[in-house]
Homo-oligomer: A and B are copies of this chain.
C-alpha cells in the first residue's frame, strides 16, 4: 500500500482544486502576482478564482478580496506570492480560513542564507499548526493542463498530455514548459517543488501512481534528502509507471553549484546511478534525453525484446539509427526469408530489403504502411523505428496516418524520427496526435527505445531483496563503540579479523606478535607457510612501505623476516615505532578481488565489488550497489565487472568460486546495514579460490564513524 494514494486525497487540491485564492494578486502586468492570476483566468481553469489584495477592487474583472479570511467557498488551494517576510503569517491566515493546501511561490527562504532558513522554519511551523500541506517555497507553481489549472507565472502552459513533470528547479521548469509547448509535447501535470519543505517528489510520485492521465513521471532532481524513502516509493510506483530522472549536480562543479543554490545534499554520481538502477528509475543523460525517454514511454508500449526494425526513406539517417541502436544494446536483426518474401510481394523489388529497410526517397504512404504492418507482425522484431526525411515526394501527414493504422491493435511499439524543421510541422503534429513519438534525430529515438526496453526488463526483476536474515551484530557493535570511544578512527587487519570472523566471514587466520620469538610461536600455532605484516598506526599501504613478507616456510625464515620487516618499516617511517607484526597463515592461491562497504550520506549503506590488488585505482573495475543485497543480486553485481568474466572462467581456465564470493558480498552488505558505526570497510584482496573452495579475506581496513 502506497503512503499517499488517491484514497488519501490530501494532494488532490493541488492539482484539481474547486477554487483558488491568489494571495498577492496584482493588477500590474509584468508583476508575478499578475502573471498567476492571468494564467488562472486565461489558460482554461473552470473553478473559482479569488484574487487577494487589500489595495485593489478588481483584477481582470474579478472582484478582489482584502484578505484570505474574506474569500468565500469553494476554495481548496491558496497560492502565495508576496514578500517573504509576510509569508508565514499568510500561511497561518490560510489555515484559519480552513485552507489545507498552499503553494508558496515567494523566494527569500533557505536558499538565501541563515535568516531565510529561520523564516522557512517559521513557515513550516505555521503549516504544521494548521495541518496544511505546502508546496514550495521558492518555486514556480503547479499546472494541470487537462483542466487548465495554472498557478504559475510562466507564459506558456504545455498541451494536455501523459507525462507528469516534477522539477526541483523553477528555472528548469519554466524553460521546459516553454519548450514542451513549442514541441507539441503534452504534460499531465507540472509541479515545481522549490525548497521542498513539506510535500516531496516521493509523495507526488505515489499520488501519481493511480492517476489515469499520467503514463510516465519525469523528474529533474538535484538531490533527494530522504534517499531511501524516495527509492522505496520509486521502486513501487516504477513497476507500474516508468519514472525517468535527470540527476544534476553529479560532478564536483555541479555539486558546488547545487549546494549553493538549494539546500539539498548532493550524492555522488555512482551511488545515485546504483540507487536508481535498483529501484527501476531510468536515468536520463541530458535534459533532452529526459523528455525523449518520457515521450516514448508515454506514447507507446515498451518493446518486449531488443530486436528493432529500422524503416526509412533515406540511407544516411538509417545508418545513424542502426549505429545508435547497437550502441545502446539493441539488435538491428536481419529478417527471416518468409518476411523477406512478404516484403518483396508488398513493395516490389526496388527497396533495399535488409535491416535498415530503405524504401528510398519517393516512398509512399502505402509502402510505409504495408512495410510497417509486415514488420510489426513478424516474430523477427520487437519494435519498429520509422525514419522520415522530408522531400517533395513524401506526404508526411499521410504516412503518419498510415503508420497509425499499422500500429493499431497490436502490442509492439512504433517510434518515429522526423528530421528537418520547416517542412515537418504538420507531420509532427499528426504523429503526436497518433501517439507515435516523433524524434528530431535518430540518436534520440534509438536511445529512448533502448531505455524503454530496459524499463520492461527492470520491472520484471525481483527487487534486490530487503528481507534478509540479519544476524546479531550486538557484540560487534559493542567492540566498535569501545574502539571509537578510545579515539580510534582507522582500523587495520588486527582489529578487523576478529570482528569479521565473528560475523561469519572467511578471514585468513592471523595472530599478532610483538617480537621475533612471539612471531615464531604464533606461526607454530597457525601452521606454515605464513605471511608477516608490519603493524603501525596510520600505516595504510603496507605493501608500498615494504611491510609485507609472504610465504615464509620455517622458523628461521620467520625470525629473519621479523627483523628485516621491522627495520625496513621503521626506516621508512623516519624511525617511528612499529607495533609489531601480524602473523598470518598463507591462503591458497586465488583471484584477487576487492569487496567493500560505505555509508553514503544520501542513501545509507552501499556495497562494492571489483578487481582487487594493489592497483585498484588504476584498474578501475568496481561495481556499486545499495545494501542489502541477496546473494543472487550480489552475483549479478560481480558479473557487471570485468573481473567477473575472469571469475566465471575466461580463456579456458577453471571457474572460481563465484557463489562463495556472492555470499560474502551479500553478508557484508547486511553488516553495512546493521552496523552503521562502520563508516567504511574495504577487504582487499579477497582471494577467490577455484569453484567449491571458497574465498579468503587476506587484508582489510576500515574507518569508524566518530562517536555521536
Contact (Cβ within 8 A) B315 A171: yes
- How far apart sit A260 and B354, CA to CA, in the bound complex (Å)? 8
Stretch of A151-159, A457-465, A476-484, A557-565 on the interface side: A151-159
CB of B261 within 8 A of CB of A352, answer yes
Question: Is A220's beta carbon under 8 Å from chain B?
Answer: yes
Partner of A251, one of B173, B246, B326, B650: B326
Q: How many residues of A contact B (CB 8 A)?
A: 95
The answer to whether B323 and A250 have CB atoms under 8 Å apart is yes
CB distance from A39 to the nearest CB of B (A): 11
For residue A652, which residues in chain B have a CB less than 8 angstroms away from its CB? 541, 544
Binary flags per residue of A177-188, CB closer than 8 Å to B gives 1, else 0: 011011100000
CA distance A178 to B428 in the complex (A): 14
Question: Is A319's CB under 8 angstroms from B155's CB?
Answer: no
Complex partner residue of A419 from B175, B313, B319, CB under 8 angstroms: B175
Rounded to whole angstroms, the CA-CA distance of A222 and B322 in the bound complex is: 13
Closest CB of chain B to A91's CB: distance in Å? 22
B residues less than 8 Å from A249 (CB atoms): 319, 323
Residue of B nearest to A421 (CB): B182
Distance from A112 Cβ to chain B, minimum over Cβ atoms (Å):
9
With A332-B257, A544-B652, A642-B619 in contact, do A155 and B316 touch (Cβ < 8 Å)? no
Whether B441 and A356, one on each chain, are in contact in the complex, defined by CB atoms closer than 8 angstroms, is: no
Cβ of A325 under 8 Å from chain B: yes
A161 CB, nearest partner CB in chain B, Å: 15
Q: Are B322 and A254 in contact (CB under 8 A)?
A: yes
Q: Is A174 interfacial (CB 8 A cutoff)?
A: yes
Are A287 and B322 touching (Cβ within 8 A)?
Answer: no
A 466-479 to B, binary, CB cutoff 8 A, 1 in contact else 0: 00000000000000
Interface members, chain A 234-268 (any B CB < 8 Å): 246, 248-254, 256-258, 260-262
How far apart are the CA atoms of A252 and B332 in the complex, in Å?
9
Q: Which residue of B lies closest to A424 (CB)?
A: B178
8 additional A-B pairs beyond A174-B314, A182-B421, A288-B443, beta carbons within 8 Å, are A154-B391, A176-B419, A179-B440, A248-B316, A254-B320, A254-B322, A257-B319, A257-B356
**28 pairs, CB–CB < 8 Å, chain A vs chain B:** A153-B392, A155-B390, A155-B391, A155-B392, A156-B422, A169-B315, A169-B316, A170-B315, A171-B317, A171-B361, A174-B390, A175-B317, A175-B389, A179-B421, A179-B440, A182-B420, A222-B319, A250-B327, A253-B326, A254-B320, A257-B319, A261-B318, A261-B319, A261-B352, A286-B324, A287-B441, A287-B442, A287-B443
